[in-house]
Structure 1
Amino acid sequence: MTRSYILHMFTPGRQMSPFDVNMAIDAGYDMAIPYCDVDTKNIGAMTQDAIFSRGPKSVAHTGIFIGGRDVVQAAEMLALARKAMVPPFEVSVCADPSGSYTTAAALVATVERQLRKAHQTDFAGRRVLVVGGSGAVGRIAGALASQLGAQVWLSNRSGSEAAARLSEETNRCFNALTEGVVIRNSTELQSVLADTDIVLATASAGVQVVGEAERSSARKLLVAADVNAVPPAGIEGVGVMDDGKRIGSSDAVGIGALAIGNVKYQVQHRLFKRMREAGKPVYLGFEEAMAMAREVVAELG
Structure 2
Amino acid sequence: MTATTWIITGTASGLGRSLANAALANGHNVVAALRNPDRMAGLAAAHPGRLLPVDYDVTDTAAAPGLVQTALDRFGRVDVLVNNAGRAVVGAVEEVGDRQLRDLMDLHLFGPAALARAVLPAMRAQGSGTIVQMSSQGGRTSFPGVSAYSASKFALEGWSESLAGEVAPFGIRVMIVEPSRFRTGFHSALEFTDTADAYGALAPIRSDMADVAGRQEGDPDRAARIITDLVATDDLPLRLPLGAEAVQRLYAAYQRDLDGVVRLADLARSADFEGVAPSVRPV
TM over 0.5: no
TM-score for the superposition, normalised by structure 2: 0.42
Choose between structure 1 and 2: higher helix proportion: 2
